[in-house]
Structure 1
Amino acid sequence: MTLSYSNETNGAWRTYLEQIDRVAPYLSHLSNYIDTLKRPKRALIVDVPIVMDDGTIQHFEGYRVQHNLSRGPGKGGIRFHPDVELNEVMALSAWMTIKTAVVNLPFGGAKGGVRVDPRKLSTRELERLTRRYTSEISSIIGPQKDIPAPDVGTNANIMAWMMDTYSTTEGHTITGVVTGKPVNLGGSLGRVKATGRGVYITGRHVAQKIGLDIPGARVAVQGFGNVGSEAALLFVEANAKVTHVQDHSGSIANAEGIDVVALIDYLKTHDGVAGFTGATAIDNEQFWEADIDILIPAALEGQITVERAEKLKARLVLEGANGPTYPDADDMLNKRGITIVPDVICNAGGVTVSYFEWVQDMASYFWSEEEINERLDKLLTKAMDDVWQSAAQHDCTLRTAAYILACERILIARSERGIFPG
């Protein structure tokens, strides 16, 4: 099968390829293997037919892409979203390859998804969709092959259905086939908040290195789901102020600081931040011109354009989302002296605790949430120090430094394994 790679100027896959091209000059003899990183190992496209509640049959298109498995089984989320398509899933799987290598987890990169708006499905329809999709990709997933996890539009309940479907076909319970499950089914404590906590951990560490005090810092958060809200809460607990929030419903601001706890409660009964009485509504583009110290893009990819980068006033950008910054915008931010903690380490808290969950499932021995958070803090801080030192050694940005470390680890594994049949 020949994959049709999109050449769209600002596509996610194109962004990833540009990032790989930028790191190639730093890889010495390992650059001989660079094409390994420019194409996914395996891409599966599946038809997902389900019977709707009204008795009609609808078909949805699903994907599972395994980008690279040189360092271990694939690892990556499942996304249910109306914009899911092959090039996006390929890019997300590739970023997972880089992410697991940066944090030095024994995984490769994978990603999956179904092109669907889950909000338009009933609970029963969503369960049917999940189970049929799982059965369609079951031949390439497994605890030693490829371990899915939640992503945009999916959650612990969907992981439970995936685990149950896979286990049913295998004839016994296999908890380690997915991570991000409910705790009662082998899930890990601390998993839901892990990605947002990782944004805070890496952001706090880099802020200290660049001389930015967290107490009193003004923070803007784009996307206020699990990642954005948890990161916001932790920064507020560290005495920063969240002054601006944006999501799909609009943008709000309060120069004195938004009550993050109240906003989280508001979102339990409202579909977005619009209308929250503890802040003033502002134009969406005004959000990108706000007078802030820290920006946390925690929504979807492709949010920071070069035009927005020219106006951004933050000193520090913490990429809670995958691929939120286009390469030309990345150049603009670096030119303006704005420090970026790249997605491949900034939002790696989720995959790190997924690794912890996988280990716990394999051992059938579970840790406390305090132990989880301590291990996460230690691992991400060490990884951030490694990236910082690499940036100093190569006189490059943190993103390039992260890619240097990751690509070296991946391509050394590829080189040592050799190419079968040789």
Structure 2
Amino acid sequence: MTTPLLSLTWTDDVTGRQGFLVVDRLVRGVSSGGLRMRPGCTLDEVAGLARGMSMKEALHYDPEARYVPLGGAKGGIDCDPRDPEAYGLLVRYLRTMRPYVESFWATGEDLGLTQAVLDRAAAEAGLVSSVQAVYPLLDDEAGDRQRLADAFAVEVDGFGLDELVGGCGVAESVLTALDRAGVPYWRTRVAVQGLGTMGGATARFLTRAGLAVVAVADIKGTMANPAGLDIERLLAARDAYGTVDRAALRPGDRELPGEAWLSAEAEVLVPAAVSYAIDVANQGRITARWIAEAANMPVRPEAEVLLAARGVTVLPDVVVNSATNAWWWWTLFGDIAADADEAFAHTRRSMRALTDRTLARAETDGTTPRAAAHAIAAERLPVIAERFGRHR
């Protein structure tokens, strides 16, 4: 495991809470990775996420594309985003990190933060944009920035395009795994933890593909129906944090304890909320065949070993949830237009190819999909460094 290029801890002088920034590596002098806010966030967690970002960037490297992968980074703040002090804390964090955001850390929404909130806080902190470090790499800064702004303004059925592309990518990874195994969509049941941006969009795309989402967990507990939940109804009843108003449940829907999603009778589990959701203690409750990591680092490594021994395949986060980050750069660098159909088509094509390549490599090497993805990234990182310079 390599030492990150930069690792720092900040303590807020108002609340005493801590924030973190880890830059794993730079490519062309820039790194990419979101900013999360959650109670209990740690420097080690942020470092692991930054390493993952380096791999996500490398996995999407296409020498023919305009989008050139960046280095990996991540930010984190130890605070509940619902806390009344959270927004002020976010602004102070960004003011402190302003030199890094201006120079070499392009960031965006992550767990606990929406892009709208992050943009508002960044403006208060004196930043031009949360991704302004990338601007010197653009061929036509004004045009490229306008294209990204136009993309963020696109809505599909009342949802922002930026809220949907990540879930589209997760769904496509799941569908690719089913296709390789010859499992029909209509016979496949899904349990989702978290109905925020990523979990909600994933549930939406999987339902529209013909799968049945039989369980959804949020902070209040698990909602379940063996015949399938009405996902559109639940999405319409969410608050800003992905918590569903239980008044939206139908007569046949049940309310169960929070961890009931783990043991749901489903072929696919989609942890789409917090890191470390699946550990040694609870992995034995899982009967699903696949776990698709829509969240970052939801399965602890020691739990994954036990799951693999039982024949449960973990589709890793560095592959599965990488589409949101890639969509930003595909759009900004000009590989795709500010158009929903083009964005979804490119996402589906790219994620199917990446997932298929990862699963094929795992079969060939006799390893897990995560080990295969790491191996592919490890082969690409030196190629990227050789082409664009060894900043790390």
TM range (shorter): 0.7 to 0.9
Does the 8 Å CA contact 2:331/2:338 hold for their aligned counterparts? no
Residue equivalent to 2:275: 301
Aligned with 2:266 (options 292, 310, 324): 292
SS of the equivalent of 1:149 reads coil
Cα distance in 2 for residues equivalent to 1:206 and 1:356: 24
Cα distance in 1 for residues equivalent to 2:146 and 2:225: 36
Residue equivalent to 1:78: 35
SS of the equivalent of 1:258 reads coil
Residue equivalent to 2:77: 114
SS of the equivalent of 2:116 reads helix
SS of the equivalent of 2:239 reads coil
User: How many correspondences in the alignment?
Assistant: 365
Cα distance in 2 for residues equivalent to 1:313 and 1:418: 45
Task: Using the TM superposition, give the Cα deviation of residue 185 of structure 1 relative to its aligned residue in structure 2, in angstroms.
Answer: 4.6
Residue equivalent to 2:47: 90
Aligned with 2:325 (options 335, 345, 351): 351
Task: Using the TM superposition, give the Cα deviation of residue 381 of structure 1 relative to its aligned residue in structure 2, in angstroms.
Answer: 1.8
Residue equivalent to 2:351: 380
Task: Using the TM superposition, give the Cα deviation of residue 109 of structure 1 relative to its aligned residue in structure 2, in angstroms.
Answer: 0.8
Distance verdict in 2 for CA 1:58–1:338, change over 3 Å: closer
Residues 1:62 and 2:19 aligned together:
yes
Distance verdict in 2 for CA 1:285–1:132, change over 3 Å: closer
Distance verdict in 2 for CA 1:283–1:373, change over 3 Å: same
Task: Using the TM superposition, give the Cα deviation of residue 270 of structure 1 relative to its aligned residue in structure 2, in angstroms.
Answer: 9.2
Cα distance in 2 for residues equivalent to 1:182 and 1:252: 41
Residues 1:243 and 2:214 aligned together:
yes
Aligned with 1:136 (options 69, 92, 96): 96
Q: TM-score, normalised to structure 1's length? A: 0.78
Cα distance in 1 for residues equivalent to 2:391 and 2:227: 59
Deviation per CA, 1:307-352, whole angstroms, max 9, x where unpaired? 4333312122111111111222212222222222111101111111
* Root-mean-square deviation (Å): 3.0
Cα distance in 1 for residues equivalent to 2:29 and 2:228: 44
Residue equivalent to 1:39: 3
Distance verdict in 2 for CA 1:312–1:182, change over 3 Å: farther
Residue equivalent to 1:177: 132
Distance verdict in 2 for CA 1:187–1:156, change over 3 Å: farther
Which is greater in Rg?
1
Cα distance in 1 for residues equivalent to 2:169 and 2:374: 18
Distance verdict in 2 for CA 1:275–1:163, change over 3 Å: closer
Report the identity percentage. 25
Cα distance in 1 for residues equivalent to 2:72 and 2:50: 5
Deviation per CA, 1:139-170, whole angstroms, max 9, x where unpaired? 2223x72210101121122332355357x46x
Distance verdict in 2 for CA 1:373–1:95, change over 3 Å: same
Distance verdict in 2 for CA 1:343–1:270, change over 3 Å: closer
Residue equivalent to 1:328: 302
Residue equivalent to 1:267: 238
Residue equivalent to 1:8: none
Residue equivalent to 2:361: 390
Distance verdict in 2 for CA 1:44–1:269, change over 3 Å: closer
Distance verdict in 2 for CA 1:109–1:256, change over 3 Å: same
Cα distance in 2 for residues equivalent to 1:322 and 1:214: 25
SS of the equivalent of 1:38 reads coil
SS of the equivalent of 1:256 reads coil
Structure 2, unaligned stretches of length 5 or more?
Answer: 62-67, 135-144, 155-160
